[in-house]
Amino acid sequence: MLEQLCPPCAAWVARHPVAARRLLWLAAWSLFFSFLGWISDPIYGPGFCKIYP
């Protein structure tokens, strides 16, 4: 499927499987924390960063 959508991307993933896996994990963690910030209430307290929904 990736070969049909973006042949240069598929070639890069084939040459660099570890880097592609790391990018996938980074994107997954980014989406997870974005979703967490979206559904949580803001946290205010000593030692905590503010999380804005």
Q: What is the pLDDT along the chain (53 residues), one digit of tens a residue?
A: 778 888 898 899 999 999 999 999 999 999 998 888 788 766 666 666 666 55
Lookup: tokens for 53: 């929904």
Q: How far apart are CA 35 and CA 51, in angstroms?
A: 11
pLDDT recorded at residue 46: 64
pTM of model > 0.75? no
**Burial category of 20 from C-beta neighbours within 10 Å (exposed 0-12, middle 13-18, buried 19 and up):** middle
Coil, strand, or helix at residue 46?
Answer: coil
Lookup: tokens for 33: 């924390």
